[in-house]
Amino acid sequence: MRNIVFVIAWLWASVLGAAELEDRQMFHGEDGVTLRVLSSTDTDIFAPILEGFIARNPSVSLDYAVAGSADIVTLIAECGDCFDVVISSAMDLQLKLANDGLARRLDGLAQGGSQWRQSVFGFTLEPATVVLNRAAFEGRALPTTRQALIEALRADPEHFRGRLGTYDVRLSGLGYLFATQDARASETFWRLMEVFGNLDARLYCCSGDMIDDLASGELFVAYNVLGSYASTRPETLDKVTIITPQDFATTMMRTALVLESTAIGDEAEALVAYLTSGAWAAQDRPGFPLPSIGQAEVPGLNVVSLDPGLLVYLDRLKRALFLEAWSSALLR
Amino acid sequence: MKYLLIEDNAELAGALCNRMRLDGHVIDHAGTLSEGSDFLSVGEYDLILLDIMLPDGDGRGFLERHRAREDDTPVIVLTARSEVSDRVGMLDLGADDYLTKPFDHAELQARCRAVLRRRTGSAQTVIRRGDAALDPVASVLTIGEAEVTLRNRELRLLELFMNAPGQIFSKDKLVDRLFSYDGTVTDNAIEVYVGRLRKHLEPSCLTISTHRGLGYRLDEG
Amino acid sequence: MLAVLFYLVVRTYAQQIAQQSQDRILEASLTSLMDAAVVREGAVEVDVPYAAFAMLDTAADDRVFYAVHQGEALLTGYDGLVDGPFEPAARPAFQTQAFGEAEVRVASLTQSLPASPAPVLLTVSVAQTRDSLAGTLLAISVNAALFGGAFFLLAAGMALWTSRSTVRPLSQMAEAVARRGPRDLRPVVRPVPTELSPLVTSLNSLMTRLSASLTQSETFIAEAAHRVRTPLATVRTHAEATLMRVDKDENRAALRSMIRAIDESSRAAGQLLDHAMVTFRGDQMEQRPVDLVAVCRELVDRLTPVAEMKDLVLVLVAKGPVEVQGDPILIQNAVRNLIDNALKYSPPDGAVRIEVGADPVAIVVCDEGAGFPVGQMAELSQRFQRGVNAGDTVGSGLGLTIAQDVAEAHGGRLELSNADGGGACATLYL
A307 and C48 in contact by Cβ < 8 A? no
B181 and C263 in contact by Cβ < 8 A? yes
Residue of B nearest to C269 (CA): B82
Q: Evaluate whether C2-132 and C288-429 have a shared fold.
A: no
C225 membership: H or E segment, kind and range: helix C217-245
Contacts of C61 by beta carbon, 8 Å cutoff, 6+ apart: A116, A117, A118, A307, C131
C90, with CB counted inside 10 A (0-12, 13-18, 19+), is: exposed
Positive or negative: CA dihedral A314, A320, A325, A326: positive
Vertex A206: Cα angle to A201 and A210 (nearest 5): 50
Question: Which is more confidently placed, C259 or A179?
Answer: A179
Question: Which is more confidently placed, C399 or A101?
Answer: A101
Compute the mean pLDDT over every residue in chain B, rounded to the nearest whole number. Answer: 83
The Cα C240–Cα B212 span in angstroms is 26
Residue of C nearest to A318 (CA): C47
Contacts C60 to A, Cβ<8 Å: 117
Among residues A296, A310, A299, which one has the least CA distance to residue C212? A299
C208 touches chain A (CB under 8 A): yes
Question: How many angstroms away from the CA of A176 is the closest CA of chain C?
Answer: 15
In terms of domains, do A163 and A213 share one?
A: yes
Among residues A247, A233, A228, A253, which one has the least CA distance to residue A178? A253
Mean pLDDT within C207-218? 43
C221 touches chain B (CB under 8 A): yes
A303 inside domain = no
The Cα C337–Cα C305 span in angstroms is 16
Chains with 3+ CB–CB pairs under 8 A to A are C
| Residues of chain B with a CB closer than 8 angstroms to some CB in chain C | 9, 11-12, 15-16, 18-19, 22, 53, 78, 80-86, 97, 100-107, 110-111, 113-114, 151-153, 172-173, 176-177, 179-184, 189
- The CATH class for the domain spanning C2-132 reads alpha beta
Q: Phi/psi at A160 (nearest 5 deg)?
A: -100, -10
Q: Phi/psi at C383 (nearest 5 deg)?
A: -60, 135
The Cα B219–Cα B217 span in angstroms is 6
- Look at residue B81 in the predicted model and tell me its pLDDT: 62
C45 and A307 in contact by Cβ < 8 A? no
Q: Which of A113, A117, A308 sits opposite C53 (nearest CB)?
A: A308
C177 touches chain A (CB under 8 A): no
Among residues C131, B97, C172, which one has the least CA distance to residue A305? C172
Q: Do chains C and A touch (3 or more CB pairs under 8 A)?
A: yes
Find which of A92, A307, A310, A323 to mutate to test the C interface (most C CBs within 10 Å of its CB). A307
Question: How many angstroms away from the CA of A98 is the closest CA of chain C?
Answer: 8
C110 touches chain B (CB under 8 A): no
Among residues A153, B202, A107, B103, which one has the least CA distance to residue C60? A107
Cis check for the bond before C117: say yes or no (omega within 30 of 0): yes
**How many beta carbons lie within 10 A of that of residue C385, not counting itself?**
17
3-state secondary structure of A144: coil
The Cα B73–Cα A238 span in angstroms is 78
The Cα A221–Cα C348 span in angstroms is 74
A317 and C182 in contact by Cβ < 8 A? no
Asked if A119 and A106 touch (Cβ cutoff 8 Å), the reply is: yes
A315 and C102 in contact by Cβ < 8 A? no
Most confident range (mean pLDDT) of B90-104, B108-122, B201-215 is B201-215
Asked if A223 and A196 touch (Cβ cutoff 8 Å), the reply is: yes
Contacts A318 to C, Cβ<8 Å: 46-48, 76
Find which of C32, C41, C48, C172 to mutate to test the A interface (most A CBs within 10 Å of its CB). C48
- Look at residue A36 in the predicted model and tell me its pLDDT: 94
The Cα B208–Cα B219 span in angstroms is 6
Mean pLDDT within C137-148? 53
Among residues C361, C347, C357, C372, which one has the least CA distance to residue C425? C372
Vertex C176: Cα angle to A321 and C110 (nearest 5): 55
Contacts A247 to C, Cβ<8 Å: 180
Residue B25 pLDDT exceeds 60: yes
**Portion of chain B with pLDDT greater than 90, in percent:** 19
In terms of domains, do A217 and A322 share one?
A: yes
- Look at residue B113 in the predicted model and tell me its pLDDT: 87
Q: Which of C222, C234, C274 sits opposite B15 (nearest CB)?
A: C234
| Size of the A and C interface in Cβ pairs below 8 Å | 77
Mean pLDDT within C28-42? 83
Long-range contacts of residues A137-143, Cβ cutoff 8 Å, at least 24 apart:
A137/A220, A137/A241, A142/A241, A142/A243, A143/A243
Single-letter amino acid code for the residue at C375: G
A118 and C61 in contact by Cβ < 8 A? yes
- Look at residue A133 in the predicted model and tell me its pLDDT: 93
C249, with CB counted inside 10 A (0-12, 13-18, 19+), is: exposed
Asked if C21 and C166 touch (Cβ cutoff 8 Å), the reply is: yes
Residue C191 pLDDT exceeds 60: no
A317 and C53 in contact by Cβ < 8 A? no
The DSSP line for C22-68 is HHHHHHHHHHHHHHTEEEETTEEEE---HHHHHTT--TT---EEEEE
Q: In sequence order, which ranges of chain B are alpha helices (DSSP H)? A: 10-22, 33-42, 59-68, 83-92, 105-120, 152-163, 171-178, 187-201
The Cα B117–Cα C126 span in angstroms is 53
**Portion of chain C with pLDDT greater than 70, in percent:** 65
Least confident span in B43-47, B176-180, C202-206: C202-206
C218 touches chain B (CB under 8 A): yes
Tell me the domain boundaries of chain C: 2-132, 148-283, 288-429
Structural domain containing residue A171? 126-251+311-330
Q: Phi/psi at A263 (nearest 5 deg)?
A: -95, -10
Give first-to-last CA distance, chain B, whole Å.
27
In terms of domains, do A11 and A87 share one?
A: yes
A308 and C49 in contact by Cβ < 8 A? no
Asked if C414 and C353 touch (Cβ cutoff 8 Å), the reply is: no
How many angstroms from the chain centroid is the CA of residue B186?
A: 23
- Look at residue A268 in the predicted model and tell me its pLDDT: 94
B94, with CB counted inside 10 A (0-12, 13-18, 19+), is: middle
Number of domains in chain A: 2
Chain C from 40 to 79: CB within 8 A of any A CB: 45-54, 56-57, 60-61, 63-65, 68, 75-77
- Look at residue B120 in the predicted model and tell me its pLDDT: 72
Among residues A35, A22, A40, A212, which one has the least CA distance to residue A124? A40
Q: Evaluate whether B2-120 and B127-220 have a shared fold.
A: no
The Cα A240–Cα C334 span in angstroms is 53
Chain C from 246 to 275: CB within 8 A of any B CB: 249, 252, 256, 259-260, 262-263, 266, 270, 273-274
Contacts C332 to B, Cβ<8 Å: 84
Residue B146 pLDDT exceeds 80: yes
In terms of domains, do A106 and A143 share one?
A: no
A317 and C61 in contact by Cβ < 8 A? no
In terms of domains, do A262 and A245 share one?
A: no
Question: If you count them, how many residues does chain C have?
Answer: 430
- CATH code of A168's domain: 3.40.190.10
A302 inside domain = no
B181 and C394 in contact by Cβ < 8 A? yes
Single-letter amino acid code for the residue at B141: L
**Portion of chain A with pLDDT greater than 70, in percent:** 89
Tell me the domain boundaries of chain B: 2-120, 127-220
The Cα A130–Cα A192 span in angstroms is 12
Contacts C249 to B, Cβ<8 Å: 172
Residue of A nearest to C61 (CA): A117
In terms of domains, do A58 and A200 share one?
A: no
Domain B127-220: CATH architecture, name and number where available: Orthogonal Bundle (1.10)
A304 inside domain = no
- Look at residue A68 in the predicted model and tell me its pLDDT: 87
Most confident range (mean pLDDT) of B161-175, C155-169, C187-201 is B161-175
B2-120: in CATH 3.10.330.10: no
Q: Which of C47, C54, C100 sits opposite A321 (nearest CB)?
A: C47
The Cα A244–Cα C292 span in angstroms is 47
C50 and A309 in contact by Cβ < 8 A? yes
Segments of chain A scoring below 50 in pLDDT: 1-17, 296
Helix axes of C328-345 and B83-92: crossing angle, nearest 10 degrees: 100
Question: How many angstroms away from the CA of B136 is the closest CA of chain C?
Answer: 14
The Cα C371–Cα B3 span in angstroms is 41
C84 membership: H or E segment, kind and range: none
Contacts A117 to C, Cβ<8 Å: 60-61, 63
**pLDDT tens-place string over residues C285-322:** 678 899 999 999 989 988 888 888 888 899 999 888 99
Domain C288-429: CATH architecture, name and number where available: 2-Layer Sandwich (3.30)
The Cα A296–Cα B197 span in angstroms is 69
Integer angstrom CA distances of residue C128 from C18, C32, C68, C116, C158: 14, 16, 15, 34, 19
The Cα A290–Cα A229 span in angstroms is 8
Long-range contacts of residues A181-184, Cβ cutoff 8 Å, at least 24 apart:
A181/A250, A181/A302, A181/A304, A182/A128, A182/A224, A182/A250, A183/A322, A183/A325, A184/C50
Contacts of C326 by beta carbon, 8 Å cutoff, 6+ apart: C285, C287, C288, C290, C410, C430
- Look at residue C178 in the predicted model and tell me its pLDDT: 37
Torsion of CA C76, C80, C82, C84, to 10 degrees: 90
Q: Phi/psi at C258 (nearest 5 deg)?
A: -65, -45
Single-letter amino acid code for the residue at C198: P
**pLDDT tens-place string over residues C55-100:** 788 777 889 999 999 988 898 999 889 987 888 888 889 999 998 8
**How many beta carbons lie within 10 A of that of residue C5, not counting itself?**
10
C110 membership: H or E segment, kind and range: strand C102-113
Report residue C202's pLDDT band, with 50, 70 and 90 as the boundaries: low
In terms of domains, do A79 and A211 share one?
A: no
Single-letter amino acid code for the residue at C286: E
C311 and B106 in contact by Cβ < 8 A? no
Find which of C257, C280, C309 to mutate to test the B interface (most B CBs within 10 Å of its CB). C309
In terms of domains, do A317 and A182 share one?
A: yes
A307 and C168 in contact by Cβ < 8 A? yes
ipTM tops the 0.85 cut: no
Compute the mean pLDDT over every residue in chain C, rounded to the nearest whole number. Answer: 73
How many angstroms from the chain centroid is the CA of residue C14?
A: 18
B181 and C236 in contact by Cβ < 8 A? no
